[in-house]
Chains A and B, each alone.
Chain A
């Protein structure tokens, strides 16, 4: 069933359209930066953006910071919202269930295919943005080490080895995947509740927007540590020397709790639901 879900994911044109959009955003930003050479003032704009002007090898990290807050969660919410509700709409859900595919198995396969999508999307963004970064900004002549940017680390001039950069990127991908799984879990739960893919995606996005608003609201400081989007950008801490683990650990832990609760609810709801379309 997992294989079937993956075939469905990668034989669908929309998968490539969404990934294309995800890759387009960093590319557009890169073109503007490269032509004007105006860096965002320190402390403003996307993370890493001023650093990439001097070193294109950091552009993948900057690209992640660009797609993560909005575009990637929107894509994940759309796909996850479609996961069950979309099958219900096309009338394929009932045929999968009477094939028979167990309901637990079906949900699991959907989840695996969502993880596959997130990994695929991130990988594509990383690769295209690396190519873009190298082509438009070039790498430092002394490519033995990568200088961590001043707007991220408080210490400027710290360099990390290419191997260090590599593991940091892998860890970043892992962290972002877990964060996106949180989004997927919300949308998947709603997808088992409603038969409207759009409704499920919309619901998940509403949750994220509310969370984002509350994160910046001082009056909501009491609930801030429990908001699903609170630690989304904590992966930036991987690029500090030494790595600042506190927020990363909290973020991962929080997402795991959300995952267990939301997926549990989705499973319980789907198992007992009458499939009427």
Chain B
């Protein structure tokens, strides 16, 4: 679906994106993570032919970008850095104008497609008010509707849940899951770990313009070889397992052990009461923090 090789974008002094080899496969739910300013947006803009690369190769839907971007884009729906709408016009008119502006938007079924897209994003009942009067969340939904208007094969969404409340975020996630099961590939960029963790199957992490990590979420969140145990008999467990308890925080103990079932059997045989027991996995947060260095919006004082 999307392949980039050695993709680099250099502005006058800074290198925004450096030697990125992104690979999004058909049917993926790809989550692009990274701190603010790590180059996610520049990367996405290059995929869409908005920003031209300094070096490297981009292929989207099997065609080279930006050379054949005109053939690629009709099958792509995108939300880049917040929705862009004409503020003095109503939402429907905005969608109709954008639909009429380019190819692949038939005039006959435009109304139906607009209604369908609005229904999907939960805006079926919007009135004739201009977009200016919409809330941030409504605009975000409208932007998403615009991206869905022509049933794209590939959705590229930059921070799609910006400005939405928790319920809205959940609704959008459900919508994206539904679209994905219908066959739409989704590339989602976000700095919200929970969002990516809840939705994505594959994760790329950017830091300082580089793609420092790209793997299946399940692989990244591999077991750490430890088991987290909740028990009211903490002291007895420490005595019983001797040096294998690595950490203790009241009733919560971290035990070095390969599988929780063997550990459970061992504890129960010894008469230890077990409240809960689970394999410890690396949290996505830990993975990302390990892979990245610092937020670019943090400005520290340099050495004097």
Using CB atoms and an 8 Å cutoff, list the residues of chain A in contact with chain B.
1, 3-4, 7-8, 11-13, 90-102, 272, 274-277
Bound Cα distance A196, B241 (Å): 69
| A276–B101 touching, CB < 8 Å | no
Using CB atoms and an 8 Å cutoff, list the residues of chain B in contact with chain A.
45, 48-52, 69-70, 73-74, 76, 78, 80-89, 93, 97-98, 100-103, 146
Q: Please, which residues of chain A bring their CB within 8 A of the CB of B45?
A: 94, 274-276
CB-CB under 8 A for A98 and B48, given A4-B97, A4-B100, A13-B88: yes
| B49–A94 touching, CB < 8 Å | no
> Contact partner of A7 among B49, B52, B69, B97, CB < 8 A?
B97
Interface of B is mostly: loop
Q: Please, which residues of chain A bring their CB within 8 A of the CB of B81?
A: 91, 94, 277
Minimum distance in angstroms from B195 CB to a CB of chain A: 22
Q: Report the nearest A residue to B52, measured CB to CB.
A: A274
Q: Report the nearest B residue to A4, measured CB to CB.
A: B101
> Contact partner of B84 among A1, A12, A93, A276, CB < 8 A?
A93
Q: Report the nearest B residue to A275, measured CB to CB.
A: B50
| A98–B78 touching, CB < 8 Å | yes
Q: Report the nearest A residue to B143, measured CB to CB.
A: A95
Q: Please, which residues of chain A bring their CB within 8 A of the CB of B83?
A: 91, 95
> Contact partner of B76 among A8, A98, A101, CB < 8 A?
A98
> Contact partner of B85 among A11, A90, A99, CB < 8 A?
A90
Bound Cα distance A11, B52 (Å): 34
Closest 8 CB pairs of A and B: A91-B84, A99-B102, A100-B73, A92-B84, A274-B51, A275-B50, A4-B101, A95-B84
> Contact partner of A94 among B50, B52, B76, CB < 8 A?
B50
CB-CB under 8 A for A274 and B50, given A101-B101, A102-B70: yes
| A95–B86 touching, CB < 8 Å | no
